[in-house]
């Protein structure tokens, strides 16, 4: 979709183009000069206000355009700008190259966003706890409410503007490769095959096509509506080397618990205490420069990587998930999530 208009155009030209774009939900154009640089924006409101004060339809849009327009700079994700976009309700925002030319137009309609990460979904596991369901179908392709589990995660990533998505496959990997053979809602999903099982993070070493400085790694068989924008904001705000999404986990003990000293002396009793923990949700943000710490061609888990970073004094933080999260590990999980998904669709 072309959201631009040349600086020499008239108000009438702009109105005609805005009318075409309005069917797609956009009512703003970005004005470019002879060098291709974006120099302003013009909306249907700008045109109407200009006509009210006496401008003619043949007046140049450079007379009425907003020169102080909001934009994103390519390669420089500005959290404050994103927050401004949210606050003011902007729907489409240009992302500019360093020379001021247009790189892309970002869609912020209906809660959409743009999170500058490369996403990797791990889809190589055997799903042994879900057998016999996974004997002939890889777990990520099992359907929840008539849609493969992995598709929910792909859709959520795309909702947040993630453009570079890779799926690592192994067990029954040809089925997942076939599933993503054609573009997914207009976006090509890449599949990379492991030559052997590499754990929950080892497969990052077989990917060499990176586009961003932050890697989002996640299990492909989770059922969650995690807010990736908030996750990324939190990660950047705390200048972390790695952020681990976490889910609250309560342990309630239905008995009185003794406080013991010197192995036998009772110093007190806690009646039916509750303990509150955070559990690993299997979703991570990682500085790309740290990937060289992952051993090549070796089975290696994300928890091993966390331990390594902590040992090196790197900053590893946790991000609490506010929405829903289900790890579909056992048959009863798979059954319960079916009903949960149907209820979400009805809501």
31-86 pLDDT tens trace: 999 999 999 999 889 999 999 999 999 999 999 999 999 998 887 777 888 888 88
Tens of pLDDT, residue by residue over 279-295, are 889 999 999 999 999 99
For the chain, what's the residue count? 347
Distances (CA, A) of 283 to 46, 57, 215, 224, 230: 44, 53, 11, 10, 13
Look at residue 235 and give its three-state secondary structure. Answer: helix
Kind and range of the H or E element at 13?
Answer: helix 11-22
Tens of pLDDT, residue by residue over 240-254, are 999 999 988 878 888
Q: Is the pLDDT of residue 204 over 90?
A: yes
The pTM score is 0.83
Picking from 106, 186, 107, the residue whose alpha carbon sits closest to that of residue 154 is 186
**Distance in angstroms (rounded) separating the CA atoms of residues 78 and 106:** 13
Strand positions, DSSP E, 232-333:
242-252, 256-261, 265-271, 274-287, 316-320, 325-327
Residue 206 in contact with residue 192, Cβ under 8 Å? yes
Picking from 297, 319, 295, 317, the residue whose alpha carbon sits closest to that of residue 306 is 317
Q: Is the pLDDT of residue 179 over 60?
A: yes
**Distance in angstroms (rounded) separating the CA atoms of residues 337 and 341:** 6
Angle formed by the axes of helices 79-88 and 228-237, nearest 10°: 140
């Amino acid at each position: 979709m072309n959201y631009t208009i040349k600086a020499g155009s008239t108000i009438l030209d702009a109105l005609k183009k805005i009318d075409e774009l309005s069917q797609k939900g956009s009512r703003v154009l970005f004005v470019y000069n002879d060098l291709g640089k974006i120099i302003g924006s013009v909306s249907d409101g700008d045109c109407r206000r200009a006509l009210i004060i006496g401008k003619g339809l043949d007046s140049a849009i450079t007379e009425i355009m907003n020169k102080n327009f909001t934009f994103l700079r390519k390669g420089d994700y500005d959290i404050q700008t994103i927050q401004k976009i949210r606050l003011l309700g902007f729907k489409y925002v240009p992302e500019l190259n360093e020379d001021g030319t247009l790189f892309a137009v970002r869609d912020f309609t209906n809660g959409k966003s743009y999170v500058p990460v490369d996403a990797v979904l791990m889809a190589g596991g055997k799903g042994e706890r879900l057998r016999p369901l996974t004997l002939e179908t890889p777990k990520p392709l099992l359907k929840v409410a008539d849609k493969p589990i992995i598709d929910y995660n792909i859709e959520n990533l795309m909702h947040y503007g993630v453009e570079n998505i890779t799926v690592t496959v192994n067990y029954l990997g040809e089925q997942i490769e076939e599933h993503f053979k054609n573009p997914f809602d207009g976006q090509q999903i890449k599949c990379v095959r492991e030559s052997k099982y590499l754990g929950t993070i080892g497969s990052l070493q077989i990917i060499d096509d990176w586009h961003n400085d932050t890697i989002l790694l996640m299990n492909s068989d989770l059922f969650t509506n995690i807010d990736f924008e908030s996750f990324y904001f939190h990660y950047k705000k705390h200048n972390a080397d790695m952020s681990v999404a976490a889910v609250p986990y309560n342990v309630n003990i239905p008995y009185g618990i003794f406080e013991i000293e010197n192995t036998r002396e009772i110093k007190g009793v806690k009646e039916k205490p509750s303990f509150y923990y955070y559990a690993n949700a299997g979703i991570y943000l990682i500085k790309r420069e740290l990937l060289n710490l992952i051993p090549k061609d070796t089975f290696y888990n994300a928890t091993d990587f966390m331990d390594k970073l902590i040992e090196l004094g790197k900053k590893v933080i946790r991000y609490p998930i506010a929405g829903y999260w289900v790890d579909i590990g056992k048959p009863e999980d798979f059954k319960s999530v079916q009903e949960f998904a149907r209820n979400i669709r009805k809501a």
